[in-house]
Amino acid sequence: MEKKIIEVLLVEKNAKDVALVKELLLLQRDVDNSFHLQVAKDVEFGKNLLKQIVFDVMLMDLSSPDENPLKDFEILHQLSPNTPIVTLTSKEKSELGAQAMRAGAQDYLVKDNIESGLLTRSLIHAIERGQLIQRLEQSLRTEIEERKKMDLLKDEFVSTVSHELRTPLAIVKSAIENLRDGIAGDLTEKQGRTVQIAARNLDRLTTIINDLLDLSRLESGKMVLNRHRVSMASMVQELFQGYQAQARAKNVRLVADIPADVPEVYVDPDLIVQVLNNLMNNCLRYTKSKIVVKIARKNGSSKSESETFKSMVVVSITDDGEGIAPEDMGKLFGKFQQINRPTGGAGYKGTGLGLAICREIISQHEGTIWAESELGKGASFLFTLEEYQPEYDFWPKITATFEDARLNKEALAVLAISIENLRDLKKTKSDEEIHEVFNKIQSVLKSQVLRRGDKLFHYSQKEFIAVVAQTGKAGALLIKDRISKVLSDISSFRFRVSFAIFPEDGSTPEIVLKKAIEGPENLG
């Protein structure tokens, strides 16, 4: 029977070691396989060979005096991840072999102890193990793809069925309401009770369908967020007003812990109200005597001067019920989950989708939602939302302003006010102190420099952008001088003011803004 030829790539600088490997492969007595060896003296040569030839296995020496031989291993492994690798080491560097295995090698051999049978067995084993891993990975990929297809089919089915049910449900609901209101004639007491039961169950079915549709739209990404600047404090106060009657009926006290300076958020208010309602309903079912809603500000940090502070608003809703068992915490935000907590209302049957919907809504707002609980001490549901930043409105507003200037054939000035020494100031001042100065800058510019219709944005951490309509170069120079004078009173901060004019310096907001920020003139 003809032997199978196994293509072997040996990456080895030492000529004696190359000769040793060749001799060991010639001495092998494998009746089924024959080894064809090609040698690369360095990684670059090895990369070229891997691009030209499909090898069954690689042998690579890690005992060379290079500073980082594992780096060469990673280069070749990344270039040909499906080619199994057996590494060669010296006794002194045997730990490198173990490290290479953790990084993806199939085996390693100590050169001083190699004999023909050991080398060939190691190569054959590496090939077989590599093939097994590839089959397992392919099987896993196939399974994942099948699950994705099934999830997609399930979501499409749920969405389609839910849509199709809405119309007949509306008709049935209308008929039940007509019966209940006596439009079709008076009902006996027994008939009235039956209609009330039907109405309650129909309401529950409608809730389930609406929840399914909401979750389906959120997960598919088809729900468009209508985000704008919103007061979280006002939303919580409105929430309390809506739940006062239910809370009084259960002898539950609603407590709001809202600081006076709580920042605004940039959200779709309808969706966040849905989150608040879901969490409040949840707490009302399980609380004993009190629900506390708290809003706090969590200061963020920035990676560079060009980024804005990513401060978050944290909202928590806490009950004083029996709490949630540790083993149930991981299930809370899953679909169709009914956590076995002692209920405050007998006979309550939820859809098990409320918290899953909350999770998707907060996720689409780039926030995080989680729960904290200790048995016997109640439960808290918390979520974060990013604090409103002026730049969220920047591009829509500046684009509209440029379009107006274009239609009216008017000049438009864009001035960039940059804080040149912000990096040094951050070493000696706290974030709060810097924020206070930022607020002062905006207040001074709005009250002493800009007109009522002019726009001012805190564009990045170190830059403010002023957009002044009907203003050419001469007017921009005057405004620039005024800005320099009013900001000179702010100690420690060194400012640079530059500008660009539309359409003289560019035809788009992006070009004009770039030129304004990169302007060379310094008024420090």
Query: Cβ of 375: how many Cβ atoms within 10 Å?
Result: 12
28-45 per-position pLDDT tens digit: 656 677 888 889 888 889
User: What is the pLDDT at residue 125?
Assistant: 86
pLDDT on residue 287: 92
Task: Read off the pLDDT band of 221 (50, 70, 90).
Answer: low
CA gap 478, 213 in Å, rounded: 57
Residue 300 domain-assigned (yes or no): yes
Q: Parallel, antiparallel, or unpaired for β 253-257 and 290-298?
A: parallel
Separation CA 255–CA 251 (nearest Å): 13
pLDDT per residue as tens digits for the range 419-465: 888 888 888 887 778 878 888 888 889 888 988 888 888 877 788 89
Q: Say whether pLDDT at 360 is over 50.
A: yes
State the Cα–Cα distance between residues 277 and 284, nearest whole angstrom. 10
Q: How far apart are CA 385 and CA 367, in angstroms?
A: 5
Same domain, 356 and 415: no
Number of independent structural domains in the chain: 4
56 in a structural domain: yes
Q: What is the pLDDT of residues 43-83, one digit of tens each?
A: 889 889 988 888 999 998 887 766 677 888 888 888 888 89
In a domain, 273, yes or no: yes
The residue out of 76, 101, 136 marking a domain boundary is 136
Residue 306: pLDDT band with limits 50, 70, 90: very low
For residues 395 and 382, state if they share a domain.
Answer: no
**343: CATH:** 3.30.565.10
- Please report whether residue 348 resides in a domain: yes
Joined tokens for residue 336? 């169709």
Whether residue 498 lies inside any domain: the answer is yes
The answer to whether residue 523 is domain-embedded is: no
Structure confidence at residue 483 (pLDDT): 92
Backbone φ and ψ for 352, nearest 5 degrees, come out as 75, 15
Q: So what's the pLDDT on residue 254?
A: 93
pLDDT tops 80 at residue 392: no
Q: From edge to edge, which strands make up the β-sheet containing 253-257?
A: 253-257, 290-298, 312-319, 379-386, 369-373
Residues 76 and 192 grouped into a single domain: no
- Cα 261 from Cα 245, distance rounded (Å): 29
Cα Rg of the chain, angstroms: 35
Residues 284 and 382 in one domain: yes
**pLDDT given at position 455:** 87
pLDDT at 236 over 80: yes
**What is the C-alpha separation between 522 and 496, in angstroms, rounded?**
5
The residues pairing with 268 across neighbouring beta strands, listed in sequence order, are: none
Q: How are beta strands 57-61 and 85-89 bridged, if at all?
A: parallel
Structure tokens at 121: 């067995």
Same domain, residue pair 242 and 373: yes
In a domain, 248, yes or no: yes
CATH number of the CATH domain containing 398: 3.30.70.270
Task: Give the pLDDT band (50/70/90) at residue 346.
Answer: very low
- Do 10 and 118 lie in a common domain? yes
Q: Note the pLDDT tens digit of each residue in 158-195.
A: 667 666 777 787 888 888 888 888 887 888 888 888 88
CA distance 446 to 455: 9
- Summarised one tens digit per residue, pLDDT across range 119-139 is 888 888 888 888 888 888 888
| Residue 466 DSSP symbol | E
CATH number where 88 lies: 3.40.50.2300
pLDDT at residue 344 above 70? no
User: Measured between alpha carbons, how far is 460 from 448 in angstroms, rounded to an integer?
Assistant: 22
Total residue count of the chain as it appears in this document = 524
CA distance 487 to 438: 11
Which of 358, 386, 414 is at the close of a domain? Answer: 386
Task: Return the top range by mean pLDDT from 109-118, 361-370, 433-442, 483-492.
Answer: 361-370
pLDDT of the residue at 524: 40
| 372 in the same domain as 242 | yes
Residue 207 belongs to a domain:
yes
Residues 382 and 412 in one domain: no
With contact defined as beta carbons under 8 Å apart, do 205 and 246 qualify? no
pLDDT-derived band of residue 318, with 50, 70 and 90 as boundaries? very high
Same domain, 440 and 468: yes
Q: Which domain holds residue 79?
A: 4-136
